[in-house]
Amino acid sequence: MRCDAFELKNAPRSSGNPIALFDRDGVLNIDHGYVANRENFQWVEGAKESIELCRNAGFLIAIITNQSGIGRFYYTEQDFLGLMGWVAEEIDVEVVFYCPHSPEAKCDGRKPSPKMVNMALQFLEGDPARSFFVGDKVSDIQAAERAGIRPVPFAGGDLREVVIPVVQEIMDSETS
């Protein structure tokens, strides 16, 4: 088992793309702890709309998620992939990078490592200066900082409240 990517769309043909990266649990869905099925997958307010507005602004979308529940044998990798397949029917997302390892495995992909963020930027031909990563934990913020992209902390509530300002800021920097 390794850290892996679940590709939902073909890689883009252009380069220098703005990328909106999202942590999953606590950002897109309420973090009930080791969410592994649809019954426990409760969308955060404004999450779907945030993805849609990023896409409308020209961003490609990636999800970057630690899934130690797989390494802890709470659920299987197939459970996770099945759930993400359903998520991808609900929102428009290019790729999911996930680390299935428990912290004890000391995988170098697990956040706060920037590795999965960097892999997503590389896969999507992202422009770091026009990309951001929304996360609810310190490890997300550290992963973003180490990858050299804007960290966007989210503490709950409506996701649009943190996403709209950063999208606006990046779009404004393009036109100025």
Query: Interface residues with Mg ion (CB under 5 A)?
Result: 23, 25-26, 136
User: Shortest approach of Zn ion to residue 71 CB, angstroms?
Assistant: 8
83 binds, among Mg ion, Zn ion, none (CB under 5 to 8 A by kind): none
User: Shortest approach of Zn ion to residue 105 CB, angstroms?
Assistant: 7
Active site residue 92: no
Report how far residue 70's alpha carbon sits from residue 101's, in angstroms, rounded to the nearest whole number: 7
Cβ distance to Mg ion smaller for residue 58 or 112: 112
Report how far residue 71's alpha carbon sits from residue 59's, in angstroms, rounded to the nearest whole number: 32
Cβ distance to Mg ion smaller for residue 116 or 130: 116
Core vs surface per residue 78-113: b (16+ CB within 10 A) or e: eebeebbeebbeebebbbbbbbbbbeeeebebbbbb
Report how far residue 7's alpha carbon sits from residue 10's, in angstroms, rounded to the nearest whole number: 7
List residues bridging with 66 in a β-sheet.
99
Residues that bind Zn ion (CB under 5 A): 3, 99, 101, 107, 109
User: 3-state class of 65 per DSSP?
Assistant: strand
Active site residue 127: no
> Which candidate in 23, 92, 140, 158 is catalytic?
23
User: Shortest approach of Zn ion to residue 80 CB, angstroms?
Assistant: 13
Cβ distance to Zn ion smaller for residue 99 or 121: 99
Phi-psi region of 82 (alpha: psi -120 to 50; beta: other; left: phi over 0): alpha
94 binds, among Mg ion, Zn ion, none (CB under 5 to 8 A by kind): none
Cβ distance to Zn ion smaller for residue 107 or 162: 107
Q: Which residues are catalytic?
A: 23, 25
